[in-house]
Amino acid sequence: MRGTEAVAALAELMPVTVGVDEQVDWDEVEAAWGTRFPSDYVRFMEVYGSGAISDGISILLPSLRAEGYPYRDGPGLRDETENARET
C-alpha cells in the first residue's frame, strides 16, 4: 500500500476533524537530513500534521533547528532519532 492509499485507509479509522496548517518544505528538510522521507509519512503530515494519537504515539515534525525555521524549539524528530540510535 502506497503513502496516499495508506493514509486514506487510516482516515477511515481516524477521521480528520481539524484542518492542518503546518507547512513542511520537504526539499529543504530532506536536503538537511540527507535522506528522503517515506511517502506515507509525508502524506500523513500533509493530512494530520504533528501531534499525538490517543496520548500514546507522538508524531513529530522533521524540524531543521535553523534560524527562521518555525519548528526549531523543543525536542524534535532529530533528537528522538538520536535517542533511538542510542538504544
Q: Which tops the pLDDT comparison, 20 or 53?
A: 53
Q: Which tops the pLDDT comparison, 20 or 24?
A: 24
pLDDT above 80: residue 75: no
pLDDT above 70: residue 66: no
Lookup result for grid cell 535522506: 35
0.85 exceeded by pTM: no
